[in-house]
Structures are given as structure tokens and as C-alpha cells.
Structure 1
């Protein structure tokens, strides 16, 4: 799980698998994309907070694809490295030891997608 582009690779590896399944069940993917867009849009909570929340759920579920996707989303939405670290701390508090493993992975993913963070 090392490498400067690991989480980019995770998403690249999943892309053809998703494409093949999406061709079989396009309505399900369309509905999932719509609910994702609605759930992650700016509202009372900012998009970057919502992406961090989704990343935290990926940590608790042990889902590298979720971590990669939402770490990228959080970075793109303007989350800082400090915000990502604090969000990960909450997932560790709620999920314990396994979250320290996936939390570290999520922090690496966030840093991979947000290399210009000045914090």
C-alpha cells in the first residue's frame, strides 16, 4: 500500500469494474450518482465537510475505494490537511484500532490528492 500514487491507482483499478457493472445496471448507477450529488452538495454543511464525513465512513467500513474517492472529493472541495486529520481522529475515537489502520490510509490518500496543502 505504498507509493506516491496508490490511491489514484485504486480509483483507476476500480474504473473498468464499475464501467462493466454500470453497463448492466445503468438505472442503479444513475440513481446512485444522483443521490451522491444531492447528498454532497453545499448546504447547511459544506461539501468539504460532507466529503470528510464520507471518508470517515469509508475508514470505519474498511473501504479503500471509498477512502480514495472521498479523500479526493474532500481535497477538491477545499478541505485542509488539518481538517482531514481531525476528521480521522473522530473515526478512530468511534471505531478504535481498525480505524487507526484505515485512518492512516485515508490520511495518505488525502495527502496524495491534496499535495499543495500549506498546513
Structure 2
């Protein structure tokens, strides 16, 4: 499994580098936006990465999972902290399905 994620990281670096060459303004704006989320000292790097990793799971973004798993590790997150953040993502995603299921049932009943 380790090689799979290392290969994904290499592929991510290559593909985003290619996009940066094709659309440098967009790539720069994206990176500036991401850096802006770290500009204040309200969240430390580890907390920022734990949140990012949990969001990456809920948005099902393999590239984001790869990048933020590595960044969380570099920021000092423990496996237990990562598991806790991912547990929160799981509960939220299930909660979102529950809320949207209620909306879907309401739409069905109303139409």
C-alpha cells in the first residue's frame, strides 16, 4: 500500500506541474488561496492538515488525500489523531446523506 501512495504523490506532482505550465495564472491563484488559509495563526499546521484530510475524504479527492496525508505526517499528526479526524469525516458524510435523504423524501412527497 505504501508504494501506491508514493506513486500517487509522484503522479500528482507531475500532473499539477503540467497544469501549472498550461495555466500558470490559475495555478498561482490556487496556491495563493491555499496559502491564505494558513496566513493567520489561529490554526496550527497540524490542525489545518487534519481538517484538510477530513475534507479530502468527504470530497473524495485522491490527490487531496495524498497531499494532506503527507502534510499531516510532516506537521506531527499521530495515527490516532488522523483516525479521529477521519471518524469525524465519516460521521459528517453519513449525516449529510441523512439530511439529504430527508430532503429527497420531502421532494417526493411534495411533487
Q: TM-score, normalised by structure 2?
A: 0.77
Partner of 1:110: none
Q: Which has the higher helix share?
A: 2
- The correspondence for 1:75, drawn from 51, 73, 78, is 73
Larger Cα-atom Rg: 2
Determine which structure has greater relative contact order: mean sequence separation of CA pairs < 8 Å that are 6+ residues apart, divided by chain length.
1
CA contact (8 A) 1:7 1:68 kept: yes
Equivalence for 2:17: 19
Point out where structure 2 has 5 or more consecutive residues left out of the alignment: 95-111
In the TM superposition, what is the alpha-carbon distance from 1:30 to its structure 2 partner?
Answer: 1.1
Which position in structure 2 is the counterpart of 1:32?
30
Would you identify which runs of 4 or more consecutive aligned residues in structure 1 move more than 6 Å? Answer: none
Greater Cα shift, 48-57 or 5-14: 5-14
The alignment of Structure 1 onto Structure 2 pairs a total of residues equal to: 94
When the two chains are superposed, the root-mean-square deviation of aligned CA atoms in Å is 1.4
Give the gaps of 5 or more residues in structure 1: 97-119
